Amino acid sequence: MFARTRAKLLMMAVLVAIIAFAVVEGIYWWRHVTVTSAWLGADFTIMGSGVNGRIKRIDVQKGDTVKAGALLATMDSEIAELDAVSLEADLAQARAQKTLVENELSAFQQDISDQIKTQETIIVLQNRELETLKQRLGIAQSTMARNAKLIKRQVMSRKTNDTSKDRALEITSELRELQTKISEKQRKIAELKGTTTQEAIFKSRIEVIDRGIEKLEVRIQQAQRELTKMHIYAPINAVVNDVYVNAGVYVEDGDRVFVLHDPAKLWIEAPVDDSQVRHVSVGQRVEVDIEAYPYVEFTGKVVAVGQATVGSMTGNNDASRGAPKIPVRIALDPSDHPLWPGVRATVHIRIR
C-alpha cells in the first residue's frame, strides 16, 4: 500500500514537472522567435595590387592577426625607383635651364636699362651744350646787328662784319648738328624701350620650360604613388583570411592578393520564416547560442530586417524547399571569446 502511494506521488511529481517545463518552454517560445539555422558573417576586405609588378616578399600568413597599417606584402620596386630618380634628375635639369633663361632675360633687361641710361645721360650733356651754342649764337647775332649799325655809320668795315657772319653761321651749323645728334639719341632710346620682341622670346622660352616642369612634377607624383602602392598595408585591424600569391609571382593592377576581415565587427545572419517575421523589428534584444561555445551565452540586437526573401535575392526562389526566409541581421555585443565567420548559431529574438 505504501509502495503504491509512493509510486502515485512520484508519477504526479513527474507530471507536474513535465507540465511546468511545458509551461516554461511555452512561455519562452511565446516570447521569442527562434532561428536554428543562423550563422556568423563578416564584411570581407579584398586587398588587390594597385600596380603591375613582381611580389618580392609576403609578410603575413593565412590566419595572422594584423593591426591597421601593418605591412602585408612588398613588391620589387627597383625599376620604379630608377624611374623616379630619373624624373627627379630631369626636373632638376629643367629648373636649372629655367634659371639660366631667367638670368639671360635679366641680363638682357639690365643691358637695355644701362644703354637707355647712357643715352639719356648723353642727351642731358648735349642739351647743355645746345643751350651754350644757343647763347653763343645769340651773342653772335647781337654782334652782327651792332656791326650793321656801325657799318652804316662807316665806323666798321664790311670785312670785319663778314667775319662775324661766318662765326654765326658756324655756330648755327654746330647747333643743327647737335640737335640732329640729340634726335638720334632719342630715337635710339625709343628703339631700346621697344625691344619687346626679344623679351617676349625669353618669356616664351620660360613658359615652355614651366609647362615641362609641371608635367615632370605630375609624373614624379605618379611615380611616388606607384612606389607607395608597391607596399601593401592592412587598412584595418584584421585577420588574414586568405593569401592568393607567393613571393616571386608577377601580378597586375587589380589582381587579388589578400582577403581580410575585422574580427571585432562580426554579425549574425538569421533567416526568419515569413510566418514569424512580422514579430521581428529593429532594436529587439537577442540571445545567441553558438555551437563553438555550448556553455557561453552571447547577446546582441536586431539591426536590420530584410525587405526580400533569401530565395528571391539569390534568384532561386524554390517554394518546395520550405517556407520563404527573410534575412535578419543581428549585431553581437562585445565578447572576450574569439569568433569566426561561418560559425553556426541559434538565435532567440525577444519579441515580447
Q: Which domains does the chain have, with CATH numbers?
A: 32-45+263-350 (2.40.30.170), 50-80+232-255 (2.40.50.100), 87-225 (1.10.287.1490)
Q: In angstroms, how far is CA 50 from the centroid of its own chain?
A: 16
Inter-residue contact 341 to 261 (CB < 8 Å): yes
**pLDDT score for 71:** 94
Specify the residue for cell string 530586417: 305
Tens-digit pLDDT profile for the chain (352 aa)? 556 666 666 677 666 556 644 544 454 555 778 899 999 999 899 998 988 999 999 999 999 999 999 999 999 988 888 889 999 999 999 999 999 999 988 988 888 888 888 888 888 888 888 788 788 778 877 777 776 766 666 555 565 656 767 777 787 787 788 788 888 878 887 777 777 678 888 888 999 999 999 999 999 999 998 888 899 999 999 999 999 999 999 999 989 999 999 998 899 999 999 888 888 999 999 999 998 898 898 999 999 998 888 766 555 554 445 678 999 999 999 888 888 899 999 999 998 6
Task: Give residue for cell 592577426.
Answer: 65
Give, as one character, the DSSP assignment of residue 280. -
Grid coordinates representing 167 are: 662765326
Cβ partners under 8 Å of residue 275, min gap 6: 323
Vertex 45 angle, CA 255 and 258, to 5°: 45
Rounded to whole angstroms, the Cα distance separating 143 from 248 reads 110
**Burial class of 188 by CB neighbour count within 10 A (0 to 12, 13 to 18, 19+):** middle
Give the other-Cβ count within 10 Å of 105's Cβ. 17
Q: Which of 183, 201, 179, 180 is nearest to 191 (CA)?
A: 183
pLDDT, position 215: 94
> What are the angstrom distances between the C-alpha of 350 and each of 28, 33, 207, 333?
9, 7, 73, 15
pLDDT for the residue 145: 73
Residue in the structure block whose three cell numbers are 545567441: 288
pTM here? 0.59
Which is nearest to 168 in space by CA: 183, 152, 146?
146
